[in-house]
Amino acid sequence: MTKNIIIVLCFFSTFIYAQDSTKIKYVYSKLSVEPALGTRVSSMIGAVDLQLSGLVQYNLHPRFHILSHTAISYDIIKYPIFNSVSINHSMTIFQKIGFGTSFYTKKMANSLNFVLGIKYFTYSAETNNESLEDKIPVQINVFSPDYGLMYNLKVGRKKYFFSGRIYAPVFNGKWFFLENANIELGFGIRLK
């Protein structure tokens, strides 16, 4: 795990210093807020959820920034493969902070960020099977660490711009992109 973090930090430092000699043509702002709607990549194979998120980014330097990412994800469709299970709710709340680097073109900014934080998952269901006499309730409430890499794309040169993000979390030192990655689309507002 330490080896992976060192590789990521070296990658960030390469971007920070690689573009120092070029002019920034993209509109640089100190503070931006980016609300978005998203979903997990696994939603494309049946487990549909809706994710509402917000990202606040503060640029310390044109090539280095800190950020805070907050999201709430809620399953919106009952799973048809679980006929004998009645799901009451399935929801996840994320709060992450991190740092990253940006590289710019004329009309867009690309950011690569390392984020870490906490995730709260709550799930409630009960069996719905006629062959059982009693309904068996299940309730899960879990806090767990959440860290990974986030790519953020900003397109637009004015106060309002398009924003898109992909977040790939790490579990036990391994990347599980397809199962747990998040895709978010929204807009951003430059405040400073």
Give average pLDDT by consecutive 10-residue segment, the chain, 192 residues: 54 47 60 90 68 92 91 74 70 92 85 93 80 80 90 88 90 65 89 83
Within 10 A of 175 (CB to CB), how many other CB atoms are there?
14
Do residues 178 and 37 make contact, with C-beta atoms less than 8 angstroms apart? Answer: no
CATH topology of domain 2-190: Porin (2.40.160)
Per-residue pLDDT tens over the stretch 28-74: 678 999 999 988 776 666 567 888 999 999 988 888 999 999 999 88
In whole angstroms, give the CA distance from residue 41 to residue 182. Answer: 6
In terms of C-beta density within 10 A (0-12 exposed, 13-18 middle, 19 or more buried), how is residue 50 classed?
Answer: middle
C-alpha dist (Å) from residue 146 to 22, 50, 170, 172: 35, 19, 7, 11
Q: Which residue has the tokens 């590789």?
A: 7
Domain chopping of the chain, boundaries: 2-190
Do residues 53 and 36 make contact, with C-beta atoms less than 8 angstroms apart? Answer: yes
Contacts of 52 (CB under 8 A, 6+ apart): 35, 36, 37, 71, 72, 73
Do residues 128 and 135 make contact, with C-beta atoms less than 8 angstroms apart? Answer: yes
